Amino acid sequence: MPAHKLPFEFNSLKYHRKILFYLTRAFAENTLSHALLFTGLQGVGKQAAAQLFSMICNCTGRAGSVLPEPEADEQSGDAENNIRPCGQCRSCQKILNSSHPDILLIRPTGSIIKIDQIRGLIQKLSLKPYEAVNRFVIITDADSMNPEAGNALLKVLEEPPDHTTIVLTAGQVSDLLPTIVSRCMHIRLSPLPEEYIAHVLEEEHGVVPDEAASLARMASGSLVKAVSMKTSRWLDRRNHFIHDLIALRSGSIRFVMVFAERVSQDKEVLAECLEVCITWLRDLIVYRYAPDRIMYTDLEETIRGEYQKSDSKTLLSLIDLIYKVRKKIESNGNARLSMEILAMKMAGR
Ligand SMILES: [Zn+2]
């Protein structure tokens, strides 16, 4: 049977194949925990991993097949195919169409998961699965459960129904009630490789290679973050900030003041500007010692032209000052005044 083309969001799962392999083996050996907690960065593929795992466990196209060890598998070069469900059987098709009655997906309505959603779930779980070998409950952003919902879910985790696996996803363990975490097997999904994120940006979003590399590096392993940076035109805004930062050095005092006023008018703009400042200054320092480790790889030429204009000590003291300014603004200090002082220092006044 030819490998079925799985949805695009499943592509990144090849980077989590070892985890999926071990989970699949535990399932086959009947030693799988009834509750799993997937943590990892936003956009790393937590929900897709849970969905793929539910497909693997219920796929009738490859029922009874024993998966090879991942190591042996890697040598053969097609590791990801071996943890793939067939994608074509009735069960796989229903899961792909989100119409499987036993694969229950709970996600926040608005920004929270409410008690009513968990009550509805408990009612469904009191019945036997309709057709699945193993029913799945996938609760995404489980950290958005309000306390009532969390406590209701706790009862389910304490007395789990048969033939049911509950998968919670969250950014990090500390976002959840410890009583919930202690009842789950915790699986951490690693950030995605920069090369993969850059590749997706180029192939799926038409980003030119240099910019794709920079966005991928800035996204720190989160595809969702990279794509949102692309769609929100983050690069344009960053370039604008950097243009101004360079211009500060030769600008008039009026220019410095106007810059400070402009960026301090909006909280989000200000936060973004300070973030760009820190990375920019960091790159100017790093370029001197390890040019291949800069974050703004697409600006290498600009960085090469600028890095010798200040010594590392000055740049480090500016970074230090930015952190202080950020703290001050977060505790409701005068943003404009703080920015004026910072901009003057950056201008070398
Ligand atoms: Zn199948």
State in Å: Cα 63 to ligand 1 middle: 8
CA–centroid distance, residue 61 to ligand 1 (Å): 4
| Cα–ligand 1 centroid distance for 91 (angstroms) | 6
| d(CA 154, ligand 1 centre) in Å | 32
Q: How many residues does the chain have?
A: 349
Q: What pLDDT, on the 0 to 100 scale, is given for residue 349? A: 80
Question: Looking at residue 294, what is its pLDDT?
Answer: 94
**Is the pLDDT at 81 greater than 70, yes or no?**
no
What is the Cα–Cα distance from 242 to 235, expressed in whole angstroms? 10
Q: Which pair of structure tokens corresponds to residue 52?
A: 């793929």
210 CA → ligand 1 middle, Å: 40
Sign of the Cα pseudo-torsion (181, 183, 168, 30, in order)? positive
Of all residues in the chain, the percent with pLDDT exceeding 70 is: 91
Instruction: Give the amino acid at 132.
Output: A
**Residue 310 and residue 276 in contact, taking contact as beta carbons nearer than 8 Å:** no
CA atoms of 62 and 227, how far apart (whole Å):
35
pLDDT at 76: 45
Both structure tokens of 329: 């603004």
pLDDT at 9 over 70: no
The Å distance, Cα 88 to ligand 1 centre, comes to 5
pLDDT value at residue 18:
87
Q: Name the pLDDT band for 61 (thresholds 50, 70, 90).
A: confident
Which amino acid is residue 329, in one-letter code? I
pLDDT exceeds 80 at position 5: no
Distance 257 CA to ligand 1 centre (A): 63
* pLDDT for the residue numbered 68: 39
Name the region of 141 (left: φ>0; alpha: ψ -120 to 50; beta: rest).
Answer: left
Residue 60 has pLDDT above 90, yes or no: no
- 73 pLDDT higher than 80: no
Q: Is the pLDDT of residue 308 over 70?
A: yes
Q: How far is CA 167 from the centre of its chain?
A: 17
| pLDDT attached to residue 7 | 64
Give the domain 8-188 fold. Rossmann fold (3.40.50)
pLDDT score of 65 = 43
Q: What is the mean pLDDT of the chain?
A: 89
Between CA 197 and CA 228 the distance in angstroms is 12
Residue 192: strand pairing partners? none
How close is the Cα of 58 to the center of ligand 1, in Å?
Answer: 7
Kindly tell me if the per-residue pLDDT of 13 is higher than 90: no
The region of weakest confidence among 78-82, 84-88, 209-213 is: 78-82
Is the pLDDT at 64 greater than 60, yes or no? no
Q: Above pLDDT 90, what percent of the chain? A: 76
Instruction: Decide if 9 contacts 186 (C-beta within 8 A).
Output: no
What is the per-residue pLDDT for 157? 95
Going from the Cα of 163 to the center of ligand 1, the distance in angstroms, rounded, reads 18
For residue 247, the model assigns a pLDDT of: 95
Give the pLDDT band (50/70/90) at residue 189.
Answer: very high
The alpha carbon of 5 and the centre of ligand 1 are apart by a number of angstroms equal to 12
Q: Which residues contact 215 (CB under 8 A, 6 or more apart)?
A: 197, 198, 201, 207, 226, 229, 230, 234, 235
**Does the pLDDT of residue 154 top 50, yes or no?**
yes
For range 183-195, the mean pLDDT = 95
Q: How far is the CA of 73 from the centre of ligand 1 (A)?
A: 20
**Least confident window among 12-16, 118-122, 239-243:** 12-16
Query: What pLDDT is stored for residue 345 in this prediction?
Result: 94
Q: If you average pLDDT over residues 260-276, what whole number do you get? A: 94
pLDDT for res 313: 95
Instruction: Report the CATH fold assignment for 233-346.
Output: Zinc Finger, Delta Prime; domain 3 (1.20.272)
Instruction: Report the half-sphere exposure of 179 (CA within 13 A, side-chain side).
Output: 10
Considering the chain, tell me which residue range(s) the CATH 1.20.272 domain(s) occupy.
233-346
pLDDT at 300: 95
Global pTM value = 0.76
Q: What is the mean pLDDT of the segment spanning 137-165?
A: 94
Q: What is the DSSP letter of 316?
A: H
Least-confidence region, from 23-27, 66-70, 100-104, 338-342 = 66-70
> pLDDT by residue (tens digit) across 251-260?
899 999 999 9
CA distance linking residue 284 with residue 219, whole number of Å: 20
Report the distance separating Cα 192 and Cα 226, nearest Å.
Answer: 11
At position 13, the amino acid (one-letter code) is L
pLDDT over 50 (residue 63)? no
| CATH 3.40.50.300, the chain: domain bounds | 8-188
* Residue 82 pLDDT greater than 80, yes or no: no
